[in-house]
Amino acid sequence: MFNQTPANGQVDARGDFYCVPVSKFRGFAQTGTTRTEITLLFDPAEGEIEIASNAYPSDVADQVVLTITTDTHKAVATAILNAIQSPAIEGSGRGFIVVADVVNSIFVTSEITGVAVTIQAAAAA
């Protein structure tokens, strides 16, 4: 689960809250040039999307960019993977992984300090 800080203090805009099954997780990437970000890629949550003629289906993904402590990419990826691989225990709340909840200051690791979500728009019907 990812919950970024809403611009107006309310969760009422696209990407303010993002929660998808772990099965949609594709992996980690460095999509920018900063040493303080790591990007998580997911299958588009809203389903099939329109693809530009110069893009491949695998190039299109929902993106969650985490702001992290400088050069802690491996530690952050390890913490997230450990949370994914932890067994769910009935009644423990472990069926729900909170990676970054900025609003409530809850993070899977202290190296995460912020989050930005980009959700791909579904194809027009």
Q: Quick one: pLDDT at residue 124?
A: 63
pLDDT of residue 125: 57
Q: What local confidence, expressed as pLDDT, does residue 94 receive? A: 64
pLDDT means per 10 residues, the chain with 125 residues, are 67 77 91 90 80 61 93 96 81 76 90 90 66
Cα separation, 41 vs 118, whole angstroms:
10
Q: Is residue 38 part of a domain?
A: yes
In a domain, 25, yes or no: yes
Q: Which residue range is the domain that position 57 belongs to?
A: 2-118
Domain total of the chain:
1
Per the domain annotation, does 123 fall within a domain?
no
